[in-house]
A and B are shown apart, each in its own frame.
Chain A
Amino acid sequence: MNKLKVSHIFETSVWIVIIFVFFAFSFEFDQEIEIYIFGATGWPRTILGILLLVVLGNFFQLYKKGSQEHHGRIGISEDDESISYESFKSVQKLIAILLLPFLYSLSLKPVGFYSATPFFIAFLIMLLGEKRTKWILANTLLIYFLIILLFMVLLNAPLPQGNVSPFYDFSAFMLTINTNLHQYFNF
């Protein structure tokens, strides 16, 4: 009996596209290695071949049994496939939560860790449902302070400084404070 859903066809299509993209890109490095007969492509192409077979096996199972779970599987996460969104606002919120960290990582190179982080913390707390402005501000400052204390002051960890003014200048200011603190306390 056909138990396929649109999501199953989409899922299988994504895997097949990935396999073909990786296979196509493997021609970019299809070079012989003098001491190794399988060359640089032998291993990845073998994995891609097996992956294609397994994806087709998975598709057959989805066709026959849908999303039904195998008996005796262990360590399966309970992330329910059937989570439903009651409002479009929830979907928007989730997309924003997924995108915010990625935007933060994109901003690290130009803006730097020291300038981008407080905004990231505050926006994430807001997106996760905190509405009290005082709590957002207080917790943003507390988390920022703890992170700076641990990684900048105590561990001297090199963090991204940014390359755009005035953010770069702010990073330089923070590092100057750190140097002064180290000199003052002699550690």
Chain B
Amino acid sequence: MIDNFLAGTVALFGDPFSILIFVFGVIGGMLFGAIPGVSMLTLAAILLPFTANFDPAQGVMLFAVIYCTGTYGGAITAILFNIPGAPENAPTAFDGYPMTKNGQSGKAVGAAVLCSAIGGVTSAVIMMMATEPLANWAISNIGPPEIFALVFFGLAVASSVGGRTIWKGWISVLCGLMIATIGQDPVGGINRYNFGFADLAAGIAFVPAILGFFAVSEIFVQAEKKAIGKYVAPELSFDFPTIIELWINKIAVVRSIVVGFFCGILPGIGATLAAFMGYGEAVRWSKNKKEFGKGKLEGVISSETANNAATGAAMIPLLALGLPGGAMTALMVGVFQMHDLEPGPMVFYNSPELIWIVFSAMFYANLSILFIGLIETKTILYLLKIPFQFLAPMILLLSSIGSYIGRGLVLDVMIMFGAGIIGFLLRRSGYSIPGIVLGIILGKIGEQNFAQGMQMVHYDIFEYLSRPICLLLIVAGLLTLLAGVYRAVSFSMK
């Protein structure tokens, strides 16, 4: 492994153009992740056509680097403005934004830098060691029934986060699942709920939905405060977390690495569920559950470690099975296809040098988060100094462009602003925006894998539950839901 890693390192840093692409990816990923309104996906979508002129290894490496650094960059906007750069940064905002409001933005961003680097580097090392054996295990043990079971469990856990009551958490997730049914059904390709818009046949793209529900609704919330004279500008702070504070949370870091890596390795799930579960597990094991959501450092640490731990793991199903784990890895499939390559087990045999250049680049990209992140953090914190009336148009414009670029449809910009208004109203009524977004993202994956799983087990529920991973996850999900029903009903009856 070390020989391959060193060979990858030499190939990466031996070619000036590769170094240039690497540095561009690191800085571009961080910047696009950190600019409110656009995300690493926007940058990746714009860059995709240009990768046709690169070597396949350079193209995939660029996207892998953007993935690592962009996942960290999205935490900055989540912490400073309550606008997650990507869905995987949504749980970071739960405690990161309250920390900003409490004048601890520097501490939160500092923790995000450090934990993203730790999670990412560890994940990259495990990825190098374990890709082949894990891929073999996944091939024989993980199929559509297991993926549906994991989606079910993930949604059951996610519904307990964000809503003012458990009912509202569930409504939010179900609302997201309903939005995901718009477009063609994943089995027969039949158009559903397109309401006469031909463009809706492809469904609601998740980039406009995310930008609308998070970025636009946040602007509306702040604008409302401005309109009634209750707007308070966030305080600027450069107070980084101390080593002792980080050492206290070492168990949260380790737990989030395990959770993040496990979620990231499963095809179609990606870093979003990793971040939610990393945060959810931190709350579950904490003695001070009530402090979460009010500016607890452990919340930021758990979420950011988990989502970056998932970045390395998400490459495993992509490279070993050819299955993208999320939007960013799906774009990487596009890079492979532009060079007449198909990601999958054969890449290991046909292009091992490509694999190890990508692995090395991800390792160094995660490492560079630590150094470049710490240097640029202070600069980025100055974003808080821009008056809201000038920042808001910039965010809305960047969001509009980010929505439009994906498919070149003005309808997506309208959907984004529509989602922003709906998100604003739902937030005011105590619903969970992360729950809706997770429902949208996992809805299609869940339905597709449910259909395939049911066909595999011949619609026999006992055969389905005879698969141990399915049984474990379905029972765990049902227990989570039943516990929620019990808590909600007993609360109402008191």
Contacts and interface: CB of A to CB of B under 8 A. Distances in A.
Interface of A: 11, 15, 22, 25-26, 29, 31, 33, 35-40, 43-44, 47-48, 50-51, 54-55, 57-58, 60-61, 64-65, 67, 69-79, 81, 83-86, 90, 93-94, 97-98, 101-102, 104-106, 108-109, 113, 117, 120-121, 124-125, 127-130, 139, 143, 146-147, 151, 155, 157-160
Contacts of A60: 492
B428 A79 contact: yes
A121 B392 CA distance: 9
B430 A67 contact: yes
A73 B292 CA distance: 9
Contact of A128 (B392, B400, B434, B455): B392
B188 interface: yes
A130 B391 CA distance: 12
Given A58-B167, A83-B228, A51 B175 contact: yes
A57 B167 contact: yes
Most chain B Cβ neighbours within 10 Å, of A39, A40, A81, A157? A40
Interface stretch (B56-64, B323-331, B403-411): B403-411
B430 A75 contact: no
Contacts of B420: 101
Contacts of A58: 165, 167-168, 171
Nearest to A33: B188
9 contacts: A26-B192, A31-B190, A36-B451, A73-B166, A75-B91, A90-B227, A105-B417, A143-B397, A159-B404
B413 interface: yes
Contacts of B450: 43
Contacts of A11: 429
A106 B414 CA distance: 7
B188 A31 contact: yes
A26 to B, nearest CB: 8
Contact of A125 (B82, B224, B389, B493): B389
A7 to B, nearest CB: 8
B241 interface: no
Nearest to A58: B167
Contacts of A160: 404, 410
A61 B225 CA distance: 29
Given A51-B178, A98-B424, A157-B46, A74 B289 contact: yes
A155 B185 CA distance: 35
Interface stretch (B105-113, B215-223, B242-250): B215-223
B455 A36 contact: yes
B137 interface: no
A36 B421 contact: no
A85 B226 CA distance: 12
Given A109-B410, A157-B401, 8 more contacts: A25-B193, A29-B192, A47-B174, A73-B166, A75-B434, A98-B424, A101-B216, A105-B417
Interface string B143-167: 0000000000000000011111111
A77 B227 contact: no
Interface in B353-399: 388-390, 392-394, 396-398
Nearest to A142: B390
B178 A47 contact: yes
A105 B161 CA distance: 32
Contact of B228 (A29, A78, A90, A125): A90
Contacts of B165: 58, 61, 69-70, 73
Most chain B Cβ neighbours within 10 Å, of A22, A33, A44? A44
Interface of A, secondary structure class, is helix
Contacts of B193: 22, 25-26, 29, 44
Contacts of B160: 73-74
Nearest to A57: B167
A79 B221 contact: yes
B161 A143 contact: no
A60 B493 CA distance: 10
Interface in B196-253: 216, 220-221, 223-228, 230
Contact of B459 (A37, A71, A108, A125): A37
B51 interface: no
A64 to B, nearest CB: 4
Nearest to B175: A51
B451 A74 contact: no
A57 B488 contact: yes
Given A37-B459, A57-B167, A77-B427, A86 B226 contact: no
Given A98-B220, A98-B421, A121 B397 contact: yes
Contacts of A55: 171
A84 B228 CA distance: 8
B289 A72 contact: yes
A139 B390 contact: yes
Given A109-B410, A128-B223, A158-B408, A38 B390 contact: no
Nearest to A65: B492
A97 B220 contact: yes
B36 interface: no
B396 A124 contact: yes
A160 B219 CA distance: 23
Given A43-B450, A98-B220, A106-B414, A64 B178 contact: no
Most chain B Cβ neighbours within 10 Å, of A47, A65, A143? A47
B226 A128 contact: yes
Interface in B446-464: 447, 450-451, 454-455, 459
B430 A128 contact: no
Contact of A15 (B91, B171, B221): B171
Interface string B455-478: 100010000000000000000000
Nearest to A72: B289
B408 A147 contact: no
A97 to B, nearest CB: 5
B188 to A, nearest CB: 4
Interface string B264-296: 000000000000000100010000011011000
